[in-house]
Amino acid sequence: MASGTDNCQSATTANGGEAPKRKVALITGITGQDGSYLTELLLEKGYEVHGLIRRSSNFNTQRINHIYIDPHNTHKARMKLHYADLTDASSLRRWIDTISPDEIYNLAAQSHVAVSFEIPDYTADVVATGSLRLLEALRSHITTTGRTHVKYYQAGSSEMFGSTPPPQAEDTPFHPRSPYAASKCAAHWYTVNYREAYGIFACNGILFNHESPRRGENFVTRKITRAVGRIKIGLQSKLFLGNLQASRDWGFAGDYVEAMWLMLQQEKPDDYVVATEESHTVEEFLEKAFGYVGLNWKDHVEIDKRYFRPAEVDNLKGDSSKARKVLGWKPKVGFEQLVKMMVDEDIELAKREKVLVDAGYMDAQQQP
């Protein structure tokens, strides 16, 4: 699905006049949870959206297929995809130069905390050095073109606070507890440094956990709601989890991408914590999700030590008063609504799986 770029920014109005130029956004990580919601938001706002996708042996565009329009349909296709990788500096520079974006959202990452202990070197290469490569490509682009107005967003994480107790705000010290979190700290400071050293409009969003029906299935919330759906429909009976006492400030991804956009619409670049300011344990999430469909989680959940991490982050709860005051942002979806939204979608998904199982096209035990 990746295409060549035609950098057509202006449109023609019905009476033949020149319409105002469309803003152009470049998103890394467009195929991820946040990338898909941000793309929808920017398309709604009239942007032309360019996404960098990485090569994989299977298609990895499931989350954006519903908004994809074939690039041969030049008048309608406002989302365009290009092959690149955060580990390949030349691809980043080439696409920034070709696309000439007004806004860059760096969402790409090896984003799984537990996996980062297994592949620390790669995680640092993508999350830390990858962000540096992108910033350097941007600096170079600005120097050669004079396009000083380009704005940059860095996807920072509450994991950077790690073991520092809540509530966590912009001035709370970082104490990362994983290779992922340490790499995000590096990316945070690279972003601050490029802002201070070169005057680039660069912002760090320090986002607390945000979830949705599009959340990757090996993050705990989606792992739970997928299991609730499959157990309710009769496709699964057990769910194996690790630490149930960890507490997280969980919001809805659709709300959080709005905060990213708002940061880049301000007069000055800055860093912002984005959070619901409410924290719940994994156990509370289980109670809510299983309870919603009339099940008792204790009948289905077993603890498996393999899901414990070498170092855990026990308690995250954000203080997002700066984002609320300066950006005018606040979350629209609360904890209970989020859990219900995810369970509802996963019940529907499990029903569709059941049809395939009953027709013999899929093994009931086959974990999707």
Partner in contact with 291, chosen from ligand NDP, ligand GDR, none, beta carbon below 5 to 8 Å by kind: none
Could you report how far apart the first and last alpha carbons of the chain are, in Å? Answer: 24
Q: 188, 237, 181: which is closest to 209 by C-alpha?
A: 181
Residue ranges in the chain assigned as alpha helix (H)? 33-44, 89-99, 113-118, 120-123, 130-145, 179-198, 220-233, 253-263, 282-292, 321-322, 335-358
CA-CA distances (angstroms) from residue 53 to 32, 89, 92? 10, 14, 11
Interface ranges with ligand GDR (CB under 6 A): 111, 113-114, 157-159, 208-209, 218-221, 223, 241-243, 246, 248, 282, 307, 309, 312
What amino acid positions are annotated as catalytic residues?
A: 157, 159, 180
Partner in contact with 220, chosen from ligand GDR, ligand NDP, none, beta carbon below 5 to 8 Å by kind: ligand GDR
Q: Both tokens of residue 32?
A: 């991820």
Over its C-alpha atoms, the chain yields an Rg (Å, rounded) of: 21
Task: Determine which residue in the list 129, 157, 221, 276 makes contact with ligand NDP, applying CB under 6 A.
Answer: 157
Partner in contact with 110, chosen from ligand NDP, ligand GDR, none, beta carbon below 5 to 8 Å by kind: ligand NDP
Site for ligand NDP in 327-366 (CB under 6 A): none
Partner in contact with 3, chosen from ligand GDR, ligand NDP, none, beta carbon below 5 to 8 Å by kind: none
Shortest approach of ligand NDP to residue 240 CB, angstroms?
Answer: 21
| Stretch touching ligand NDP by CB under 6 A, among 12-20, 83-91, 298-306, 358-366 | 83-91
Cβ atoms of residues 338 and 211 within 8 Å: yes
- Pairing mode, strands 103-106 and 24-28: parallel
Find the residue with minimal CB distance to ligand NDP.
32
Binding site for ligand NDP (CB under 6 A): 28-29, 31-35, 54, 56, 60, 85-87, 107-111, 126, 155, 157, 207, 209-210, 216
